[in-house]
Structure formats: structure tokens, C-alpha cells
Chain A
Amino acid sequence: MIRLENLTKQYGRLLAVDALDLQVPAGELFGFLGPNGAGKTTTIRMMAGLLKPTAGEIFIDGISVLREPEKAKHICGFIPDRPFVYGKLTGTEFMRFCGGLYDVSPSALEPAIVNLTRLFHMEDYCGELIESYSHGMKQRLVMAAALIHRPRVIIVDEPMVGLDPRGAKLVKRIFRELCNSGITIFMSIHTLEIAEEMCDRIGIIQQGRLAAVGTMAELKERSGEADGKLESIFFKLTGDEDMQEVISALRL
């Protein structure tokens, strides 16, 4: 469903993403892990059509994001890490606006808004202006809006940031159910426990290159880590030097 071919992004002299090749089949929840500055958000923003790659290709359901961006975007839903939304609209109006952008027919739009409002527990504040929402409320709203057109692929950047435990549990459940229904989710995440718990497959990116990709079992086998925890595998694959530095700094 998602295919990245030789995907490269260069900012001046900095190579943020370096010839990334990756495939994610339909219905999979793919976790994209990596240290800060590894190239996760850049990859995700290229997939969402927000950044132009320096080289390479991105295919969503066989459609090139570069050559047919409108067609590709039509089947995608994007959830960014920071939910900047129009503060002067209400939650309902924002979802209606997003429905309009994706050409959702009015007859399908209104029931979808009601369902998503209920699904993300937003009934109490959906009629209020977004400018008065907390970060978590905005995050839920953005997620609901990304589902308004029934996308076949969802691209998510750090979905759990700003969510309370109840919200995080809700989102985990919703994402799992979406994948069970055949929707593909490409998700960048920092919390290793959540990645381990939720994802079918995990890709670890470091310095713009894919350091490892596979199921938990495959990663465990490849790293040779005895305790089998994703945290250990992550540090093994991304290098322990950083962690040693952090520990030394904390001891000061």
C-alpha cells in the first residue's frame, strides 16, 4: 500500500533522509522509530506532500505522490505532531471544512461528523471555538478530521503527544480497529512501549537511513538482545553511545 523508493531529502549540506526504501502492505500498522533528528518527520512530511523529496519516489496504493499528488492525497489522512488548526472555527465546522477539502458529499459528511465526534468523545466541546481547546483536545479533533473522508492510508506523526492516558488508550484502540478493517497506518512514535504494543512491524531510522525493519520477533533475532525488549533493540541498533552520554550527564 505504501512504497518508498530511494527516497532522499537534502537540506543544504545536511542529508536528512538517505535513499530510503520501504514497503508497507495494506492493513498494517507500521511504527517508524528513531532518535531525534533521524529523519522521521521529514519522511512523513514528504509522504504527506508537505515536502518535496530531493530524489526518489513515494507511492500510495500505486499512485505517485510526486506526479499525481491530488489523487494520492485523496486516499490519505495526515495527522501532524503539532495540531495547528483554525482557532476561529468550532470543532464541527473544522470537520465540515476538512470534509469539503476531500469532496465528501453532504449526505455522507454530517453522519460522519456525528460518528467521529462520538468516537473521539468530543461531544461536550465540539460547538466551541478551537482557540479555547487544550492541546489534547486539538489532537483528538485533528485525528477525527483526518478520518472524515474514510482514507485508505493514515500517516501519523507522534500521535500520543499531549494526550492523557484515557485519550492515548482511546487512540490505540481506534488505530488497531482501523488496521483490522484494512486501513494502513504509518506512524512515527517516540514511546517504545507503545510501538511494541501496537505495531505489526517496526522500522528504525538513524541518520536518514533505515537501520532495521521487521516484526518484533525479527528485530529481536537480528539484534541478538537477550531480554527481547524493544528498548534494548533500539539502543543496540541506534548505538549506545548517546545513552552513555545521557547517563554520564545525569550523574554530574
Chain B
Amino acid sequence: MLPYTSLFYPGPAQVFNRLRTGGRRGAARALVIGLMGLAFWAAVFAGFYRVLLYFNSVPVFGSFLADKLLGMALLTFFSILIFSTVIAAISSFFMSEELQLLVASPFDSDELYFVKLCETVLTSSWMVLLFSLPVFVAYGVVFEQTAAYYAIMATGLIPFLLIAAVIGIAIALCLVTTFPAQRLKDVLFLFTLFLVIGLYVLFRTLKPERLVDPDAFFTVIDYLSSLEAPTSAYLPSQWLADILGVFLFGHDAADLVFNVLLLWISAAALVVLLNFFFNRVFFSAWSKAQESRPVRATLSGLFDRLIRLVTRPFSGRMRAVIDKDFRTFFRDTAQWSQLFLLCAIIGIYLYNFSVLPLDKSPIPTRQLRSIFAFLNMGLAGFVISAVAVRFAYPAISLEGLSFWIIRSSPMGLRGLLWCKFWVNFVFLALLSVILTVCSNYFLRVEPYMMVLSTVTVLLMTFGLTSLSVGFGAMYPRFRYENVAQIPSGYGGLMYMMCSVLFVGAVVVLEALPVHLLVTAAFHGRELGGFDWIRIAASFALILAVCAVVFVLPMRAGLRRLEEMETL
């Protein structure tokens, strides 16, 4: 038997080495990511604080609604924790590289279980824990709690996280004994994606805007009050809610000790039970996860011909890369499944415009439609930048460890970058035209506004494609498990910040010409010579900004790839 410390050592040692070797660049990245995290944390706190203050001001229902909200929030955390543990457990128990070494080493399975349990609990729960804290703190602040509330919260949270993790690991063990691990990850990925899309569509179709509509307010309160779903005596989330409720809402204090003990004893029992289960199934499940079998290509002859047709306009080398990218895209579940997310985004976006209550506004409808069409340019820009971070930003990283093939070929990195640019530009331009033209159609805008916004959004798409491909090349991530991980790092964050600034700059610059055109149309007068000069100057500035954003990121991305020596 070897000491546990030797099993725990590699993880912290790797983190320490990464920090040590990161240098000034690594520190800057950590600072930016830390600040963004802090901003998000503050936003969650502010949101809950406002909602809880609002609930607190509602007579009779106030604390009841806050109690309901806490139950719902804890149930949501519990579900997310279980789900994220399933994914984390598949990686840490079956896919991680050091397992080959650990399984072959003289560790007994209890030791391995304990170490992997700790690793999985940490990796799956730290983020949920971090972003649930502002919720608990908001409750503490609004309901004026003392240190005892925070102490009991910590006491309850530890077994709560453990229970969710143990359930998640047990599900992962069952799944891997049933399905091949690689295929399972695809299934889980698809499931997560559909869950996100479902929640997104559900949230939108619930029409949350009714909450701020005074006419509908009391109907909504009645509806929320009638929700009974989160209360179940068998759910650990409810046990924790009951514990916190003693402090927050003055629930019966006699249940406090019972619920704390219930959480701790259940967690301990589940940890021991999972240990038995782990000892019985792990080795056969792990062995199964190592197996690979021949996989035939799934594309039909028709699709094969379609790819050839699409790639025909391109020259030899570009055609080869685009052909390869298309085939890879449609065979990789993590890639093609994002198209569903895209469809949901387009659907909701257009739905929002179709239900805008323009006629209820005190502003004249014709002018209001033009204002919305103007704002729509910015909105479309943000949507395109969000889509580009999913599709165009990973374009270079998707070459993965096979990047040597391109680098050692006569293709050249410039050619590769432009190839990635044009394919993504065509796709994003199509999307931008659909979004702008259809939403403007729903708004029934004037023809000049339709042309102006479509051209502006197309120009922005040009810049956004360059930004996303360029930043993707500046911060490539060639080692990844699935495509969704690629934009989640520092580079993706920097790209999103730059794209927001870019879209914002274009919208601000376009404000003057739109104002002049709309005002002139509203008053039915011709524009003067000076007006036209100002409009031309604004458009020239927009073109200049787009040109800079088009050229600089691609150039910087190319330079970074040329200098890169890690592959």
C-alpha cells in the first residue's frame, strides 16, 4: 500500500508548475479571467439582491416567494451538480491519461476510489459552488443574517455537494458499464445541448416580460405561489433549504439538527455504498472504456457529392481543407449538434421581433420602427459575434495535433487562415442577412433602413469573422476534448470583449446618419448638403473601423502561428 499523498500529488503539482511557468502573460490572463469572474459574481449577487428586496416589499407573499425561490435555486444547483459530476466522472474515472499508470500501480481500489472521488467532487462542484455563493450571500444580506447563518450554510453545503457527486459518479459508472465511453460522451453532450436549448426556448415562451407588466403582475404572483414542484421531503436540496429557512424565514428550529444530521449521514452512507459499487464494477467498466472498434464513415454518397459541389468554387488546396473541415464537422457530434443551438437562437430572435408591442408605445410607430431597426443592427452584431465564437473562433484549433500536416505542406499558414476566413464568412454572412432582413420584415421598416441595416450588419460580419478567426489563431488550443472547450479560455474571452467593443463602435458611429435620415423622413424634408457630408463622414469612419478590425486580427493571428513552436 502506498501513501495517499503520492496519489494526490500530481494534480496540485501540475497546477503549481503551470502557474510558475506562466510568466507575466499567464498572470495577465489570470487577472482578466479573475476580473470577469468577479463581475459575473457581482451581477448574480445584484440580480438576486434586487429580486429578494422586491419580494420582501410584497406584503403577505414576500417571504413565501423568497422561500420558494431558495428551494428552486437549490434544486437547480443540485441537478446541475449531478449532471456536471456525470461528465466530470467519465473523464476522471475512465478517460484521464494518468489512469493507465494508476491502474497499473500497486494502489488498491479503495485508495483509487477515494482519490478520484475527491478529484471529481472538486472539479464538478467548484464552479457551481462559486456562483451559488452570491445567491446565499444575497439572502443573508437581505434577511440581515449573522455569522451563524454562514456557518450553518457551510455545514450544510459540504454534504450537499458530496451527495450530488456520489449520485453523479454512480450514474457515470452505470452508464460506462452499459455504453462505450467515447459514444457516451457524445450522447451526454447532445443531451446537455438539448437541455440548454429546451430551457432557453421554455424561458422565452414563458414571456418573462409579463413580470414588469403591471396589468399581468398579480396573475404571475398567483401562478408562482401555486408552484409546488421543488418541495419534496426526499430531496437533499429541500433538506438544505429547510436548514437555511430556520435562519431566514423563522422555520421551526427543532428541524435544524435533524436536517443537518440527515445531510451528513446520507452523504457518509452514500460514499460508503458507492465504494462497494465502485469495487465491484470499476475494473470491468474501465477495461470496456479502453476498447475501440472499427467505425465506418457515416456520410452517404449523396452527401459526398454535395460536399464536392460546395467546394467546387475553391482552388486545389483550399478545396482540400474545406472538404476535410465539412466531413469532420458533420461527423463530430460536438460540432454539428451546435447547429440546433443556432436554429434556436435564430428562432427566438425572430420571435422576439414578431411579438414586439409597437402599437402600445407613445412614440409614433414609423419612427419607432426605424429606432428598433437601428438597435437591431447592434443586436444582430452581438448574436453574430456569439455564433462566431462557437464556429469561427475554433477554426484553427480544430486542426488539433494534426496541425503538423498543414505546416509541413506547401499550403502555407496565410492560405490556411484565409481558407478558414472565407468559409466562416459565407456562413456568418448568410446568418446576418437572415437575421436582419427577417427581423426588419417583422418591423415593417422603410426600404432605406432595410438596405442600410443589411449593409452595416454585413460589414460588421466581415470584421467579426476576421476577429474570431484571428483571435482563434492568436490563442489556439490544439489539445481539447470537445469543440465547446476551445472558446472557453482567455482567447475566447478577449475575442468577446473586442467584438462587443467593435459592434458598439459601429452602432455609435451609425447613430448620427440614422438620426438624420429618420428625422428627415419623419418631417418629410430633404437632407441638406452639410447633412450629407456628416453622413458620408460617419460612413467613412465605419468603413475605416471595419477595415482595421478586418486587417489587424488576421495579421496578428498569422504572426502568432508563424512564431509558434509547440507543435
Interface: B446 (CB within 8 A):
no
Contacts of A86 in B (CB 8 A): 324, 328, 400, 402, 405
Which segment, of B232-240, B277-285, B406-414, B492-500, faces chain A?
Answer: B406-414
Query: In the complex, are the beta carbons of B408 and A78 less than 8 A apart?
Result: yes
Contacts of B292 in A (CB 8 A): 131-132
Contacts of B562 in A (CB 8 A): 52
For the complex, what is the distance from the CA of A106 to the CA of B188, rounded to whole Å? Answer: 40
For the complex, what is the distance from the CA of A232 to the CA of B331, rounded to whole Å? Answer: 52
Q: Give how many A residues have a beta carbon under 8 Å from the other chain's beta carbons.
A: 36
Contacts of A102 in B (CB 8 A): 409-410
Of all chain A residues, the one with the shortest Cβ separation from B567 is: A50
| Partner of A50 from B319, B327, B408, B412 at Cβ < 8 Å | B408
For the complex, what is the distance from the CA of A86 to the CA of B316, rounded to whole Å? Answer: 19
A238 shortest CB reach to chain B, Å: 26
Interface residues of chain B: helix, strand, loop or mixed (majority): helix
Those of B67-92 within 8 Å (CB) of chain A: none
Query: In the complex, are the beta carbons of A103 and B316 less than 8 A apart?
Result: yes
Those of B526-567 within 8 Å (CB) of chain A: 562-563, 565, 567
Query: In the complex, are the beta carbons of B295 and A128 less than 8 A apart?
Result: yes
Interface: B401 (CB within 8 A):
yes
For A49-79 the 0/1 string (1 means CB < 8 A from B) is 1111000000000000000011101101010
For the complex, what is the distance from the CA of A85 to the CA of B295, rounded to whole Å? Answer: 16
A90 shortest CB reach to chain B, Å: 5
Contacts of B328 in A (CB 8 A): 86, 88-89
Number of residue pairs spanning A and B whose beta carbons lie under 8 angstroms apart: 97
B444 shortest CB reach to chain A, Å: 45
Contacts of B406 in A (CB 8 A): 101
Interface: A98 (CB within 8 A):
yes
For the complex, what is the distance from the CA of A80 to the CA of B328, rounded to whole Å? Answer: 22
Interface: A93 (CB within 8 A):
yes
A84-B404, A125-B294, A127-B296 as given contacts; A101 in contact with B410, CB under 8 Å: yes
| Partner of B411 from A52, A101, A129, A132 at Cβ < 8 Å | A101
Interface: A100 (CB within 8 A):
yes
| Partner of B331 from A70, A84, A129 at Cβ < 8 Å | A129
Contacts of A99 in B (CB 8 A): 320
Query: In the complex, are the beta carbons of B295 and A97 less than 8 A apart?
Result: no
Q: List 9 A-B contacts (CB under 8 A).
A: A48-B407, A50-B408, A73-B408, A86-B324, A86-B405, A100-B319, A101-B411, A129-B295, A129-B297
| Residues of chain A having any CB pair with chain B under 8 Å | 11, 48-52, 69-71, 73-74, 76, 78, 80, 82, 84-86, 88-90, 93, 96-103, 125, 127-129, 131-132
| Residues of chain B having any CB pair with chain A under 8 Å | 292-297, 316-317, 319-321, 323-324, 327-328, 331-332, 400-402, 404-412, 562-563, 565, 567
